[in-house]
Amino acid sequence: MKYTVEGTDMNFDQVVLKSDVPVLVDFWAPWCGPCRMVAPIVEQLAEEYQGKLKVVKLNTDDNQDVAIRYGIRSIPTLGIFSNGQIVDGIIGAVPKQMIESKIKPLVQSVN
């Protein structure tokens, strides 16, 4: 969790919606096996795209308001936000290349 930010119901608007760089939000829960599978990939992306992409991990058990607001019904869900809007999402544990293919166009516009 060195390169990721913990998201909560309280800080979500500030950390995600008001971010000046694109944000990848990992909606997860401690009991979710596939979430644990995708976690190292998310951490790796946070390190590799440091400064160009903010990576936020949001525990849906502890922060249900945000999960409900964005209609998160299954986890892991990776929400991709840009300029305060959700622009894309990925449901389930997927390979790193699939996540990168969705975030690369957004981070290329960040200097």
Question: Among this protein's residues, is 31 annotated catalytic?
Answer: no
Catalytic residue among 25, 35, 46, 106: 35
Residues with Cβ within 8 Å of residue 82, at least 6 apart in sequence = 22, 23, 106
Question: Among this protein's residues, is 16 annotated catalytic?
Answer: no
Catalytic residue among 15, 16, 24, 32: 32
Residues with Cβ within 8 Å of residue 72, at least 6 apart in sequence = 27, 60, 79
Positions marked catalytic: 32, 35
